[in-house]
Structure 1
Amino acid sequence: MGRQLTFDLGFWPGMGRGDFFVSPANALALATLDAGGWPGGKLIVIGPEGAGKTHLATLWATEQGAAMVQAARLTPEAAPRLAAARAVVVEDAQHLAATPGAETALFHLHNLLAAESGRLVLTATTPPRDWGLALPDLASRVLAAASVRLQPPDDALLSAVMVKLFGDRQITVDPAIIAFLTSRMDRSLATARALVAELDLRALQKGGPVTRALAIEALDSMS
């Protein structure tokens, strides 16, 4: 008998404040964004992949009416349009140096925002000294910006996120299984989303609940 086909119809995590779980891993970054008043109106949010930078940046951008753009898609032509929002988030800024025209675009964007007392938030996996910026005027401005760090998700944050993700799929999971998963999975919110989707798929295929045995299978499949 052929394998039953099942489809993940798209469970997108909420990005509002009610969907953002505060823990010691992200509390300082959230408080710094909320406080505002950063020197020169600039802030760099630094953290490893899967730490929640995009969720945090999206939350701030939504509440502030800010424009958002990936560094790899930043062009000089886009700078005036982005600056018109007077608040801009540039994500994955560690890719600026590898993207033709992106450094020049960010330099223009920075100056346009500064002229209007606007705000600029950059997210990155590494500090700006490691981005390999070749434009001296941009490098000096970025290096002078305030920064805050996001730590890898701790067990409390991963547990809360996984309970929410399972709940979004109308799945109730024993807290012991949640604890089992968080103690063995990668410290990443992206991994949490992938793991929940994998367990949902396996449970649908077997027509039963999420069990410890399924959890072991899912962890092994992602290792």
Structure 2
Amino acid sequence: MDGTMNEVALSPNGKTIAWIYVRYSCPIGADCLTRFATGYTAAGHRTQAGRPTFYRAPSWVTNRRTLQTGGYRSQVMLQDLHAGAKHWFDDSGYAFPSTDLADGELSRNGRWLAEIRGYKATSTIIWYRVTGNARTGEPPAVPTYTCYTNGEAEHASPTRSPDSTALAWTGKTGLWIKRNAASCSTSAPKLVITGGSSPDWSPAALA
């Protein structure tokens, strides 16, 4: 598959890049769909550095594992670089009626997961407390959701702070941060960059 490269993600140790192709296609005998492919290359030179998948939105869990999404029945997937992706859970695993989950990110300590839940004007940022170990081995149990935002059309790009305590995301008016994200009732989310988008929290301190 080829197409437009529209997303990249660098591993925590800076050695591997995950990248995505996206293409609308109508193969013979199959539905016309927007299709995705995720691949891996070394950061210093082009080479196959992991097993490709037909999922999207990779975010790094460790230097050898990514979190991806694939829509219906494959909403939250875990993939070790040289193995097939494994299903973790879907929205239907805890909610009825259910919707879609996408664009997830696991906190660095492995205890918190954030996702985009729903579509368009109903989309929210939702985050979960993870029970078990999603960083290695088999996928753990379905996590327990703790908080979610109001719905709006432009929610995107949830990202956790290096110390795993805060959560940032894109909203309709810009970039938002929720401090003390373990609590839903304290430290309300704040707009920090009007018009900002696509946050990706760095471990580097601000100079």
TM-score (structure 1 length as normaliser): 0.20
Q: Which has the larger radius of gyration?
A: 1
TM-score (structure 2 length as normaliser): 0.21
* Structure showing the higher helix proportion among its residues: 1
* Structure showing the higher strand proportion among its residues: 2
Tell me which of the two structures has the higher relative contact order, counting C-alpha pairs closer than 8 angstroms and 6 or more residues apart. Answer: 1
